[in-house]
Copies of this chain bind each other. A is one copy, B any other.
């Protein structure tokens, strides 16, 4: 099985621009990527990064430096500067084995949660994200292709049906929680102790509760 982790190397996490500088967004995104790769490796997988551009992983404390490597020195990085959908479809088209695609911003991912994805036996297995996205998928059927625009979860269900593939879903809060916006940051501090959580804490973020709702605050703000 190929396990691909797409990564927007150049301008990651633009929706966090209200709370993080461009350089901070790169560092935080790389911390999340490293957490995802580590969870995959701990689960016995051999992930590869599908990056929009070459990148220097030294921005993340605790991540091995190297020529494009992240986490353990063995993780290969393939560069494809196309948008997410055509880049992933190129991998699907070129692969003769099943392909898993796991988003790089699943900061809560654990080997156990990802294991549910890999253990499922359907032709197409989908882990929905909050808001109708597809945060992780496993395509065993050779004709499956992705379309990440809009409510991709529904589109992927429909596409699987159209090629006669059985669809499985993974019911995981950890896989459903992609970290895109400031309102997602509390989940990292609540449910992880890994690199992304440590990066946020080192950058001064902590949980704040106002009117019964949780958010993050930074430093003495």
Interface residues of chain A, those whose CB is within 8 Å of chain B, are 110, 112-113, 128, 130-132, 149-151, 153-154, 171-177, 186-187, 190-191, 207, 209, 212-214
Contact = CB atoms under 8 A, between A and B. Distances in A.
Nearest to A180: B213
Contacts of A131: 186-187, 213-214
Contacts of A212: 149-150
A66 to B, nearest CB: 32
Given A150-B209, A150-B214, A132 B173 contact: no
A190 B149 contact: no
Contact of A132 (B113, B174, B186): B186
A153 B191 CA distance: 10
A4 B207 CA distance: 30
A129 B169 CA distance: 19
